[in-house]
Amino acid sequence: MLNRVLAALSITALVVGVAAWSQPDLASEDLWWHLASGRFIVEKLEIPAGDPFSHTATGAAWTNPEWLWQVTAHLVHRIGPDAVAWANLTVVVLTFLLIHFACLQLSGSWLASAVATALAAVASHAFIDVRPHLVTLLFTAAFLAVRERRWAPWIVPPLLLLWVNVHGGFIFGLGLAGLDALVRSLQSLRAGTGLPTARWIGVALGAVAVAVNPVGLHIYLLPFEPLGETLFQGLVEWAPAQMSLDFTTWAGRFGWMLLAVVASLWAARRQPYWLALAAVTLVMALLARRFIPLFAITGAPIVALGIARLVEAVEARFPASPHRQLGLALAALGLAVWSWQGVHFADAPLRRWTASEALPSGAVAYLSALPSPPRKLLNAYTWGGFISFTAPILPVFIDGRAGTVYDEQVIQDYFTLLSASEGWQRVMREREIDGVLLEPGMPLLNHLDRAGWFRYNPDPRSVLMLPLEGRGRPTNVQLLGDTADTWLSRGTRAFRQRKLGVARSALEQAVRLDPLQLYAYGMLMNVEALDGNPDGIALWLERGLRIYPRRANGLWSFAEVAYRLADDHDARVHALRQIRSNSPFVAEVDTEEVIAAIEEERRQRTMTRAPTGVGPK
């Protein structure tokens, strides 16, 4: 009876704890073009062989292995947008439950398995966004959970048949089964027993099943396409993993997972499959950080085995009482419940999970409402999918499919335009660009200002520019009505005109209409900074952190800008020190270098202001 109670408590603690690590501080920009593709397939009843979303690669060949995931996600989204978040959470929890059972089969300990799985979930946290790649984690966990079953070879073909049509990670699934068959064969040869024929048949049938997809055998080339030479090869997710011991960062959690695996190798020395699998995924993770979750879930059973053997050694000298085991299980459950602070699933979970407050929703709504919207828009790379999904009448310049759809010339032209480098006017003419939607600060925007283009729908997230001849276009207020985006735009315009009272009222209205309007909090901090009210900066920072705790990095970044406007050096440095490098998909910034530069700037200003004869000699 006690064992059942302990098992139930361990599972409950695991589920609650794993779910608490959802909704990372991470944007899921790719979700939107996946949804747009799913909608296209459902409406047209065909899988597009050519690109249907852009004006730069119209009809270009597009191998789309995620089509089935896209259709499913679209149908779930039609139930309600937040249903997508709940479905994603289900996939995450199920993945780590299956890993828990794989750990349990190897270690025989509920407690050790729960600890190892929780550590794997924590190490994977920063990568758990809403994308098809989670299916690869789920199917990997499913295979590992049933690997020791006699019937395991026969689930390989149907598993790969489904896998190849939901995510390009199917090749890893084939490798899982192939490595299993290889290790068993080597063990059989050493023992002088028969080869595991069923395992090899399962692998062979799985390889055949992979060919059952819209492009047939060509799918085998897909996993190697990202390795080609493109200008997007430098995307941060393909950068090597970093390691630290700072548990508050993704690199620190990866570091601790790696240490746990290394510390448990002694216990797994007779487990060649798990050792080989962990070694392969570790190399993958070290080469490209996007593979860290694969290493985490495949290394978890080794960690569980190490913990279990350690616990056995301790209990051999200090026998554990049932009360101690029950206390540990209750403590684990309490810790799991405590970890839910900052997680909001009752309030707009999909928006929170996808960081959609950073998307140019107001500008895109304005464009799609125009009587004559642009025919050939230049858009930010990360916004292309969102535009295709929310405003299908607007063909995009580029989106998150990068080198899989767009050729090298499109990518080269994109960077030429963004940087306004030599030849950008020619590219604008040849591409017939009649609208621009980019992030603030892009060099091209200043050139367009001088060329007579006009800025519409201003807000802190995006800059929408249209040619001057369209100056008679309606305002965003006329088109969008009383929305949070409208008030954010109005407040931003008033702030830039230094009408602080008008800006404050408009931005407060934006927050009232949409408490998740993160950029409104940042603009309100700026208003208070220019109004000489440091308490106001702290107030809006605190409100934002209370409403949106998982966006602490963004809010503290806004605070740093506000304190810079307020010329409050100490508060600015404090804000910088609160920012953690929590995203493996954004280039890291050395905070200490930034602080050192600020200190030097302050020293120089102090010297400049020093009265004659008083400054340093």
Given a contact cutoff of 8 angstroms between Cβ atoms, the answer to whether 541 and 555 are in contact is yes
Cα gap 377→557, rounded to integer Å: 30
| Angle of the 2-20 helix axis to the 110-124 helix axis, nearest 10 | 0
> How would residue 615 be classed by pLDDT, with cut points 50, 70 and 90?
very low
Residue-wise pLDDT for 362-387, tens only, equals 999 999 989 889 999 999 999 999 99
For the cut 60, the answer to whether the pLDDT of residue 229 exceeds it is no
Those residues with Cβ within 8 angstroms of residue 157's Cβ, 6 or more apart along the chain or in another chain: 202, 205, 206, 208, 209
Percent pLDDT > 70 in the chain is 94
Q: Above 60 in pLDDT, residue 275?
A: yes
At what angle are helices 272-287 and 250-263 packed, to 10 degrees? 150
pLDDT value of position 385: 96
Tokens encoding 209: 């099943």
pLDDT at 413 over 90: yes
Of 132-141, 380-389, 449-458, 488-497, minimum mean pLDDT range: 449-458
Q: What's the half-sphere exposure (Cβ side, CA atoms, 13 Å) at 350?
A: 16
Lowest pLDDT segment from 540-544, 549-553, 562-566? 549-553
At 613, is the pLDDT very low, low, confident or very high (cuts 50, 70, 90)?
very low
Give the tens place of pLDDT for each residue, 466-524.
Answer: 997 766 677 666 777 889 999 999 999 999 999 999 999 999 999 999 999 999 999 99
Helix or strand run (H / E) with residue 281: helix 272-287
Is residue 134 pLDDT above 60, yes or no? yes
**Rounded CA gap, 129 and 29, in Å?**
10
Q: Each residue of 289-339: pLDDT tens digit? A: 999 999 999 999 999 999 999 988 887 887 767 777 788 888 888 988 888
How many helices and strands, by DSSP H and E, does the chain display? Answer: 27, 4
- pLDDT tens by residue, 84-130: 999 999 999 999 999 999 999 999 988 899 899 999 999 999 999 99
Tally of residues, the chain: 617
**What percent of the chain is modeled with pLDDT above 90?**
66
Q: In whole numbers, what is the pLDDT of the chain averaged over residues?
A: 90
Record the tokens describing residue 316, joined without a space: 């051999």
The pLDDT score that the predictor gives to residue 476 is 64
Q: What's the rounded Cα separation, in Å, for the pair 475 and 369?
A: 11
Q: Residues with Cβ < 8 Å from 424, sequence gap 6 or more?
A: 416, 417, 444, 447
Q: What is the pLDDT of residues 164-210, one digit of tens each?
A: 999 999 999 999 999 999 999 999 999 888 889 999 999 999 999 99
CA distance 565 to 188: 71
CA distances from 356 to 281, 379, 433, 518, 556 (A): 31, 17, 26, 10, 18
Mean pLDDT of 550-564: 93
Distance separating alpha carbons of residues 97 and 378, to the nearest angstrom: 44
Q: What is the mean pLDDT of residues 538-546?
A: 96
Quote the pLDDT of residue 300.
97
CB contact at 8 A, 30 and 400: yes
From residue 576, alpha-carbon distances to 276, 547, 586, 594 in Å are 42, 21, 17, 8
Q: Strand runs (DSSP E) across 339-453, as ranges? A: 377-379, 435-438
Confidence of residue 230 (pLDDT cuts 50, 70, 90): low
